[in-house]
C-alpha cells in the first residue's frame, strides 16, 4: 500500500508520462509438473491478489507497453503475447473509484475514474521466469489454476476470459512451444492440453490427432532410464509450427 505522499508523487508522474484512463492487464500462463499456473501479484499488507499490469507511455505502441510490463515482472525479453479482449464496461469505474479514495480527492488520484483495460495473455517457460513484484506488491508468484486466490478489481473476470481465449486457440492453432521444454514425451504434451482444457483426453486419439497436424518431430532414440518401456522424445518442427500459427488448422478437442 502506498503512503499518501507516494500516491501524490505517483499520480503526478503518471499524468505526465502515461495515456490517461487506459491500462493493460496481463495473464501469464506457465506449465510445471503437470499443472497450468498463472503469475500473480499480492498486495502489500492485504490478502487479495491481482494480475500483472500497468499503463501505456504517451509515445508508446500498445503492444510494446505490454512487452515492457511483462519484462519487468518476468525478466524475459522474448514473450509470446496475444491480445484477447478489451475490458471497457462502465461498471469498472466503481473498482477504481475505491482505490485510495480515503487518501486523495478524485481529481488528484490517478487511479480514480473509468479505465479501459486491454487484456493480453502470455505463454512462458516456467523455468525461464524470475518473478518480480512491482511497487504496489510484496510478492510475485505462481498460483495453480485449480488453486486461484481471491482477486482484486475485476481481475478474476479478466483471468477467466484469458483462459477461455487460450482454450479456443487450441482449436485452430498449436500451443506448447512457449510452455514445454525443448524435448518432451507425448504423455507430457497431453498433460499440457488436459491442464488447459480442464478435462481428460483419450490417449490414442490425442496422439493420432497431434501427429496429423505435422508440427512434431520424433527423436530416433527414446528417453533413457526408468523401469518401464521408455517413451520417445518429441520436439516441435518450428517451420510447420509457425505455419500453423499463421494459417491455423481445423479441429477441436
The ranges assigned to domains in the chain are 4-170, 186-247
Closest CA to 121 of 87, 73, 71, 161: 161
SS3 19: strand
Average pLDDT score over residue span 112-121: 91
SS3 53: strand
Interior CA angle at 27 toward 186 and 48, to 5°?
A: 120
Separation between Cα atoms, residue 58 and residue 68, nearest integer Å: 14
Alpha helices in the chain (DSSP H): 4-17, 62-74, 92-97, 155-169, 186-197, 203-212, 238-247
Fold of 186-247: Arc Repressor Mutant, subunit A (1.10.10)
Confidence of residue 100 (pLDDT cuts 50, 70, 90): low
Confidence of residue 222 (pLDDT cuts 50, 70, 90): confident
Distances (CA, A) of 74 to 138, 150, 177, 179, 231: 15, 22, 18, 14, 33
Answer whether residue 204 shows pLDDT above 90.
yes
Answer whether residue 162 shows pLDDT above 70.
yes
pLDDT of 98 reads 67
pTM of the model: 0.88
Q: Note whether 233 and 222 are within 8 A (CB).
A: yes
First to last CA, the chain: 43
Question: In this structure, which CATH number among 2.60.40.10, 3.90.79.10, 3.40.50.1360, 3.30.390.10 belongs to the domain 4-170?
Answer: 3.90.79.10
Q: What is the pLDDT of residues 18-56, one digit of tens each?
A: 999 999 999 999 999 889 999 999 987 778 899 999 999
**Measured torsion, CA atoms of residues 102, 139, 56, 122, in degrees rounded to the nearest 10:** -140
The residues, any chain, with a CB within 8 Å of residue 244's CB and separated by 6 or more, are 173, 174, 213, 214, 215
Amino acid at each position: 500500500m502506498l503512503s499518501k505522499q507516494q500516491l501524490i508523487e505517483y499520480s503526478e508522474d503518471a499524468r505526465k508520462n502515461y495515456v490517461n484512463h487506459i491500462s493493460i492487464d496481463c495473464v501469464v500462463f506457465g506449465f510445471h509438473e503437470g499443472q497450468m499456473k498463472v503469475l500473480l501479484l499480492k498486495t502489500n499488507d492485504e490478502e487479495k491478489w491481482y494480475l500483472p499490469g500497468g499503463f501505456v507511455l504517451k509515445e508508446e505502441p500498445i503492444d510494446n507497453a505490454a512487452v515492457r510490463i511483462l519484462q519487468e515482472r518476468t525478466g524475459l525479453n522474448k514473450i509470446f503475447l496475444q491480445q484477447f479482449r478489451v475490458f471497457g464496461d462502465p461498471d469498472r469505474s466503481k473498482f477504481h473509484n475505491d482505490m485510495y479514495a480515503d487518501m486523495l480527492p478524485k481529481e488528484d488520484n490517478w487511479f480514480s475514474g473509468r479505465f479501459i483495460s486491454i487484456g493480453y495473455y502470455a505463454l512462458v517457460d516456467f523455468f525461464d521466469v524470475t518473478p518480480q513484484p512491482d511497487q504496489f506488491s510484496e510478492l510475485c508468484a505462481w498460483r495453480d489454476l485449480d488453486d486461484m486466490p481471491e482477486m482484486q478489481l475485476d481481475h478474476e473476470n479478466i483471468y477467466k476470459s484469458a483462459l477461455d481465449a487460450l482454450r479456443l486457440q487450441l482449436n485452430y492453432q498449436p500451443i506448447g512451444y512457449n510452455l514445454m521444454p525443448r524435448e518432451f514425451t507425448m504423455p507430457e504434451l497431453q498433460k499440457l492440453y488436459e491442464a488447459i482444457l480442464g478435462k481428460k483426453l483419450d490417449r490414442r486419439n490425442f496422439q493420432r490427432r497431434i501427429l496429423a497436424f505435422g508440427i512434431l518431430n520424433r527423436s530416433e532414440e527414446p528417453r533413457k532410464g526408468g523401469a518401464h518401456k521408455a517413451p520417445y522424445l518429441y520436439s516441435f518442427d518450428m517451420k510447420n509450427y509457425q505455419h500453423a500459427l499463421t494459417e491455423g488448422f481445423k479441429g477441436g478437442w
